[in-house]
Structure 1
Amino acid sequence: MMLQRILVVDDEPQIQRFLKPALTAAGFDVETAATAADAKRLAATRAPALIVLDLGLPDGDGKTVIETVRAFSAVPIIVLSARDQEIEKIAALDLGANDYVEKPFGIGELLARIRVALRQAEPGPAAAPIRHFGAITLDHEHRRVLVDNAQVHLTPKEFDLFELLAANANKVVTHRQALSQIWGPAHQDDAQYLRVVIGQLRAKVEADPKLPRHILTEAGVGYRLVD
C-alpha cells in the first residue's frame, strides 16, 4: 500500500526536523520545501495528498503558493503559521486553504486536522438528498429543514445559508464566502447581514442558541457546521 504523501513547506529547519519524523511515524510519506518556488514545483510534480504550508517564506508570501496550487489542484492545504491576525487567516481561507493552525501548535491537533482534511478530500458518492446533523435534518430536494423530525420554517436566506454550511460541513466558511454567495459580491463586507441570519438560524435549529453545538463560530473568520 502506497503511503499518502504530505508536502511540508516551511523555511524553519527546526520545524522540518520536528514535523518530518512525526508525520513519518504517523504513516505518511513526507516531502519538504523551504521556498515558495520549490513548493509550487513539488505540488505540481509530486502530487501530494496534502500540503502543510507556512506563510512566511524567504522568496515570497505563502499565500501565493495557495493561489498557484488552486489553479490546478484541489489538494487539501493546511496553513501552519505564526501569523495570528484575523486578516491573514481570512485571506488564506478565501484563497482556498482548507484550515489554519497557529504556531506554536500541538502535533496531536495537527495530525487530527490532517486526518479530517484527507477524509474530506476522498471521492465519495454524490451529495445525499437528505443529510443529518445531530437532531437537524436537511432535505435538499424539498428545501426544508427538520429538527427532531418536526419541520421548522426557514426564510430563503436562512435556508440558503444553512445549505452552504452543509455543503462545506466541518470546514470553515468565511464571512466573505458566505456573503458573496448568499447576498452577492457587492455585499461581501456586510458582516452584519450574516450575523443576523446566523442568529436566526441558531434560534430555529439549535437546542440552546446561546451554546450552539452545530453552527459554530470561528472567531473573526467565519462559521463551521459540524455533526
Structure 2
Amino acid sequence: MTRILIVDDDTQLLRALRINLRARQYDVDLAPDGSTALTAAARHPPDLVILDLGLPDLDGIEVIHALRGWSSTPIVVLSARGAQAEKVTALDAGADDYITKPFGMDELLARIRSALRRATPADTTVVIETDAFTIDLATKRLTTAEGDVRLTPTEWHLLEILVRNPGKLISQQQLLREVWGPNYETETNYLRVYIAQLRRKLELEPSRPRHLLTEPGMGYRFQP
C-alpha cells in the first residue's frame, strides 16, 4: 500500500484525512508536529507527505528542508497561509505542490495522485557495488569477499541514508535526527561509534576508509 504521512496539529483534520485516505486504500501515518514527522519519516519512509506549515514546534519550511536533505518523497503542502510569497517559499524549499485551506477533498485526492505519478520511482538503483562490498537495498543483503555481513537495524539505517545519497555530504545533525530522533542531534559520539563499526565490517582498510568518509566537524559521505 502507498504510505502517506500527514503532518498537522489539527486533530480533527488528521482524523478526517485518515478516514478518507484509508477508505481509498492508502496506508496513513499521522504526526502532530515537525519533530514527530521527521522521526516517523525516518523510521517508516512515506511515499508522500501532506504537510501543514503552521506547526507547534518547527516551521513547516524547516521540515521540508530536513526531508529534502535525504529524501525525494513528494511533499504536498496543505496550509492556511495563502499569500503568494508563502507558496513560493515552500516550493523553492522543495515542496511539490501547495493547497490552501479550506480545500475540497476531491482536489486533494487529485493532487495526491498527480504527485505520486510525477515522483521518481524509489529504489531505481537497489544494488550498490564497490571494490570492497556489495549492498542490495531491496533484500537488505551486504556481501564482501568473505561472504555475507550481518548489520544491526541501526547500522542498516545509517548506512542506507548514506548510500542513497552517493557523494553527498550528510550533516551529523541530520543523521542523528533521522536515525535516532530529534532529541539526539548533539550526540555525535553515537555517529563515531557506529561509523567505526561499519568501517570495520565494510572497508578493506578501516583505518584508511575509501567509501565511508568523514568531513571533520561537518558530517559524513558515501563515496562509491
TM-score (norm 2): 0.53
Q: Which runs of 4+ in 1 moved over 2 A?
A: none
How far 1:122 moved relative to its partner?
4.2
Q: Tell me the distance in 1 between the aligned counterparts of 2:56 and 2:90.
A: 18
Unmatched 5+ residue regions in structure 2?
123-224
Of 64, 85, 95, 1:87 maps to 85
Of 99, 102, 106, 1:101 maps to 99
Corresponding position of 1:42: 40
Secondary structure of 1:31's counterpart equals strand
Q: Tell me the distance in 1 between the aligned counterparts of 2:41 and 2:77.
A: 15
Corresponding position of 2:121: 123
Structure 1 residue identity aligned to 2:7: V
Corresponding position of 2:9: 11
- Cα-to-partner distance string for 1:129-185 (whole Å, 9 max, x where unaligned): xxxxxxxxxxxxxxxxxxxxxxxxxxxxxxxxxxxxxxxxxxxxxxxxxxxxxxxxx
Q: Tell me the distance in 2 between the aligned counterparts of 1:30 and 1:24.
A: 7
Q: Which runs of structure 2 are paired with 1:66-77 in the superposition (5 Å)?
A: 66-77=64-75
How far 1:123 moved relative to its partner?
2.9
The higher relative CO (CA closer than 8 Å, separation ≥ 6) is in 2
Q: Tell me the distance in 1 between the aligned counterparts of 2:107 and 2:120.
A: 20
Unmatched 5+ residue regions in structure 1?
125-227
Corresponding position of 2:54: 56
Q: Tell me the distance in 2 between the aligned counterparts of 1:68 and 1:10.
A: 16
| Percent of paired sites with the same residue | 52
Q: Which runs of structure 2 are paired with 1:193-208 in the superposition (5 Å)?
A: none
Structure 2 residue identity aligned to 1:16: L
RMSD (Å), alpha carbons = 1.5
